[in-house]
Chains A and B, each alone.
Chain A
Amino acid sequence: EPEVTQTPSHQVTQMGQEVILRCVPISNHLYFYWYRQILGQKVEFLVSFYNNEISEKSEIFDDQFSVERPDGSNFTLKIRSTKLEDSAMYFCASGLGEGGADTQYFGPGTRLTVL
């Protein structure tokens, strides 16, 4: 069964450093998403991406964040200058893009720890 994959599973970085989180969405999906979950809190939406551009973003997704689909299979989230409060699980998700209420399938997550 196709699934979303994410690398690395755990990333430790120093405050102020740049990190890139990588995702391989399900191959025939057209919509891509990033969410995050701070320990003990809700899953929160960051950004959605369709047709090589951002289709929606949350207030959390400020200028420190960017997304890219560098080739036909990868989808990345970059945080330019990490802060302590960026420590969280980051989940990539993808959807087929059937219209209506499309199901989003989540990857296993990357645990980001900012020291």
Chain B
Amino acid sequence: EDQVTQSPEALRLQEGESSSLNCSYTVSGLRGLFWYRQDPGKGPEFLFTLYSAGEEKEKERLKATLTKKESFLHITAPKPEDSATYLCAVLQDGSEKLVFGKGTKLTVNP
């Protein structure tokens, strides 16, 4: 059973068309939830860490939010360079391992 589920699997947007990516998790004892960006053939690039429900973090056109069951990555007025796969991962009590979702592949068309 997956502990981290991301939706949608793929998302196509026009430049400037805002949207949200979802990450739902079922782990108990969440220590942190992480968002990464991954370009093809590259390593995950860190974006945000969220620690507790209600927390929000922003960076340029991206904003991440966290509830007790899920996190959203909001993309405002995206540009073609925002095209990538966005990965969500969780860290739970008693473990050092990040558990990743399958990711959402975002394509932003000019």
Binding site for B on A (CB under 8 A): 4, 31, 33, 35, 41-45, 48, 50, 55-56, 58, 89, 91, 100-109, 111
**When A43-B87, A101-B32 are in contact, do A58 and B97 touch as well, CB less than 8 Å?**
yes
Q: Which B residues are CB-close (under 8 A) to A103? A: 34, 46, 49
Contact of A48 among B43, B51, B96 (CB under 8 A): B96
Pair A101/B102 contact, Cβ less than 8 Å? no
Pair A56/B44 contact, Cβ less than 8 Å? no
Q: How many A-B residue pairs have CB under 8 A?
A: 59
Residue of B nearest to A4 (CB): B43
Residue of A nearest to B102 (CB): A42
Count of B interface residues, CB-CB < 8 Å: 24
Contact of A101 among B42, B51, B97, B103 (CB under 8 A): B51
Task: Say yes or no for B91: interface residue by CB 8 A criterion.
Answer: yes
Pair A109/B43 contact, Cβ less than 8 Å? yes
Residue of B nearest to A31 (CB): B96
14 A–B pairs (Cβ distance < 8 Å), ordered by A: A4-B43, A35-B98, A41-B102, A42-B100, A42-B101, A58-B97, A91-B44, A102-B91, A103-B49, A104-B34, A106-B43, A109-B42, A109-B43, A111-B41
Q: Which B residues are CB-close (under 8 A) to A100? A: 31-32, 51
**When A100-B31, A101-B49, A106-B36 are in contact, do A43 and B100 touch as well, CB less than 8 Å?**
yes
Q: Which B residues are CB-close (under 8 A) to A89? A: 41
Chain B nearest Cβ from A50, distance in angstroms: 8
**When A42-B101, A45-B98 are in contact, do A106 and B46 touch as well, CB less than 8 Å?**
yes
Residue of B nearest to A50 (CB): B96
Q: Which A residues are CB-close (under 8 A) to B98? A: 35, 43, 45, 104
Q: Which B residues are CB-close (under 8 A) to A106? A: 36, 43-46
Question: In the complex, A42 Cα to B91 Cα: how many Å?
Answer: 15
**When A101-B31, A101-B51, A106-B36 are in contact, do A45 and B42 touch as well, CB less than 8 Å?**
no
Contact of B91 among A43, A58, A101, A111 (CB under 8 A): A101
Question: In the complex, A57 Cα to B17 Cα: how many Å?
Answer: 42
Pair B96/A56 contact, Cβ less than 8 Å? yes
